[in-house]
């Protein structure tokens, strides 16, 4: 694994966290009815999600789904990454929302809403990054 791949994964983590945080703030605000609660939950997630996302990227980078020694990138791989990330992300969001609001039901509601919005946003994010070569020496495209 080269140093460029680390830079790529950090860049992806930062861009995804920006999109994800905005989504969390809006959903938390709508569900809790309090914009400050939305901001607290969104800001609490920034650190936890950046770390979790970075490690998620590293694991997926090491998963060798290859043909003729070249890592295959495909819509199926992006969908699988979307599902695994959403499970991790939803658990983190529900836990933080529960802690911040003191209400486990609020955490569950926010987590449930995020499943839909975040999976769509994450898939689009993955497809956009697939078109960017930053941090990749070579690859095959689908």
Q: What does the pLDDT look like over 75-128, one tens digit per residue? A: 778 888 888 988 998 999 999 999 999 999 999 999 999 989 988 998 899 899
Span 56-64, average pLDDT: 83
pLDDT of residue 61: 82
| Domain interval for residue 86 | 3-130
Taking the CA atoms of residue 51, residue 65, residue 74 and residue 17 in that order, the dihedral angle to the nearest 10 degrees is 0
Number of domains in the chain: 1
The CA distance from 103 to 84, in Å, is 26
In a domain, 102, yes or no: yes
Helix (H, G, I), strand (E, B) or coil at 131: coil
Span 41-68, average pLDDT: 83
Distances (CA, A) of 32 to 37, 48, 69, 93, 119: 7, 21, 49, 14, 21
Question: Worst-scoring range by mean pLDDT, 12-21, 61-70, 71-80?
Answer: 61-70
In a domain, 138, yes or no: no
pLDDT of residue 62: 82
In a domain, 136, yes or no: no
In a domain, 42, yes or no: yes
In a domain, 116, yes or no: yes
In a domain, 135, yes or no: no
pTM: 0.73
């Amino acid at each position: 694994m080269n140093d460029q791949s680390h830079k790529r994964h950090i860049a992806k983590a930062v861009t995804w966290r920006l999109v994800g945080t905005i989504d969390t703030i809006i959903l938390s605000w709508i569900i809790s009815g309090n914009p400050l609660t939305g901001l607290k939950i969104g800001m609490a997630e920034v650190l936890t999600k950046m770390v979790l996302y970075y490690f998620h990227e590293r694991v997926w980078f090491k998963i060798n789904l290859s043909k003729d020694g070249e890592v295959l990138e495909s819509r199926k791989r992006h969908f699988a990454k979307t599902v695994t990330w959403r499970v991790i992300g939803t658990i983190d969001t529900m836990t933080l929302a529960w802690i911040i609001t003191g209400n486990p039901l609020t955490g569950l509601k926010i987590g449930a809403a995020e499943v839909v919005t975040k999976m769509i946003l994450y898939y689009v994010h993955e497809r956009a990054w697939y078109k960017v070569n930053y941090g990749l020496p070579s690859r095959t495209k689908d």
